[in-house]
Amino acid sequence: MKYKSFLIKYGEIGVKGKNRYMFEDALMKQIRIALKDVEGKFFVSKELGRIYVDTDGDYDYEDTIDRLGRVFGIVGICPMVRIESKDYENLKKRVVEYVDEVYPDKNFTFKVDTRRADKSFPGTSESINAELGEVILNAFPEIKVNVRKPDVLIKVEIRTYINIYSLEIAGPGGMPVGTNGRAMLLLSGGIDSPVAGYMIAKRGVRVEAVYFHAPPYTSERAKRKVIELAQLVAKYSGPLNLHIINFTDIQLAIYENCPHDELTIIMRRYMMKIAERIAVENGDQALITGESIGQVASQTIQSLFSTDAAATLPVFRPLIGFDKQEIVEISEKIGTYETSIQPYEDCCTIFVAKHPVTKPILADIERSEEKLEGIIDELLEMALESKERILVKA
């Protein structure tokens, strides 16, 4: 079957009440963006409760499904046959043709489920189910009816046109990107932060990212790894700005002037300060990190409290209650895992203390930071002035 149309199913958009059209329009925009570079011509449209993608001429089916399968807001992609004529006999003929072409092996059970939104169409949904079921059985006696647990559920929607479909390919769910503000992701080369960016983007937040680079302690390959991770996140979030900060001098100043058991916490606090500065300049309303409680010393509740105190923007931690295996499973699903485990160190692991404090007291941390007065502010401004920005596309 060479499908020419797709029914796009959405989930929670459907409960948005009077504002639903805004979310539908945002989803349609994201679909157009996702299909922009796919071979073929596509037309995105909607009617009450339905969004459609129609094609014109040849197109790449597999690539189309792949791109639609990464658009947040879509819960199902249904390849379908659309019939413009509402002639009842033509409908029966087309349903039989559909079953014959889509299911060459006729060893299955089925049920017809009709939705008759156009009440001018003759009959009732129940009578149409019965008549279409009868013509399918007459055409293919080896097929059996099972109204409770059919192998194949043949959907017939009688609306402006008639839609016939039985396949549903799962989408990622969530909300269309751009419907819930903007946030800045602190992106490292590890497993967690790309997953955190994916999860927040799934809630409709437009994401950009900042990466802290520490040459010569971290290599250009480590930087390239983070750019690759940003590209993988961008497959779902759409194009994002990646801000690269040279963090070496700031880290060395902290290393030389502050207690070594507090290094990680103090470095994280300055990362938060820098990320917040960039976020505010770019109109972002929150920060995103990949931390989960208790995973490492810098992720105890006391450590997170001390880190958060360095920022005024809210900090989103979508992985806060996840264990490592749960995070790994998501990273494998979205395709970031193999890149994340490449052995290129980031700046945090290079300067980690042998025995880091696990229950820092904020007042003690702030007193330690006083030793940086007259040193750190200038280094921070220099890092911001020399930052590199890359527009990352999937």
Question: What does pLDDT average to over the chain?
Answer: 94
Reported confidence tier of residue 247, pLDDT bands at 50, 70, 90: very high
DSSP 317: -
pLDDT at 98: 97
99 and 187 within one domain: no
The annotation status of 290 as a binding-site residue, yes or no, is yes
* 12 and 74 fall within a common domain: yes
- What tens digit of pLDDT does each residue of 265-274 get? 999 999 999 9
Residue 347 clears pLDDT 70, i.e. is over it: no
Mean pLDDT in residue range 358-363: 93
Determine contact, residues 302/365, Cβ cutoff 8 Å.
no
Angle at the Cα of 140 from the Cα atoms of 138 and 141, rounded to 5 degrees: 75
- Is 176 within the bounds of a domain? no
Q: Note the pLDDT tens digit of each residue in 141-175.
A: 999 999 999 999 999 999 999 999 999 999 999 99
- What average pLDDT does this structure show over 286-297? 91
Residues 10 and 110 in one domain: yes
- Are residue 258 and residue 279 in the same domain, yes or no? yes
Please indicate, yes or no, whether residues 161 and 278 belong to a single structural domain of this protein. Answer: no
CA-based torsion, 121, 124, 126, 131: positive or negative: negative
Whether residues 370 and 309 share a domain: the answer is yes
186 has binding-site annotation = yes
pLDDT at 317 over 80: yes
pLDDT digits 0-9 by tens, 57-111: 899 999 999 999 999 999 999 999 999 988 999 999 999 999 999 999 999 999 9
Q: Taking 60 as the threshold, does the pLDDT of residue 232 lie above it?
A: yes
Would residue 177 count as lying in a domain? no
- Among 133-137, 201-205, 253-257, 350-354, where is mean pLDDT lowest? 350-354
Residue 156: strand, helix, or coil: strand
pTM over 0.75: yes
105: CATH: 3.30.2130.30
- Asked, for residue 175, whether it belongs to a domain, the answer is no
C-alpha count within 13 angstroms, C-beta hemisphere, residue 194:
29
Tokens of 65: 């499904």
Tell how strand 74-83 and strand 162-165 pair up. antiparallel
Residues 144 and 292 in one domain: no
Same domain, yes or no: 145 and 202? no
pLDDT for position 219? 86
In this model, does residue 348 exceed pLDDT 90? no
113, 241: one domain:
no
The set of residues, in sequence order, having a beta carbon less than 8 Å from that of 373 and lying 6+ positions away, is none
What's the pLDDT at 350?
59
For residues 197 and 307, membership in a common domain is answered with yes
Residues of the domain holding 261: 182-392
Q: Is 299 annotated as a binding residue?
A: yes
Task: Assign 349 a pLDDT band (cuts: 50, 70, 90).
Answer: low
Residue 255 CA to residue 274 CA, distance in Å, equals 18
Q: What is the mean pLDDT of residues 237-252?
A: 95
Residues 196 and 154 in one domain: no
Q: How many domains does the chain have?
A: 2
**Confidence tier at 351 by pLDDT (50, 70, 90):** low
CATH no. for residue 282? 3.40.50.620
87 and 30, same structural domain?
yes
Q: What's the angle, vertex CA 330, arms to CA 220 and CA 302, rounded to 5?
A: 75
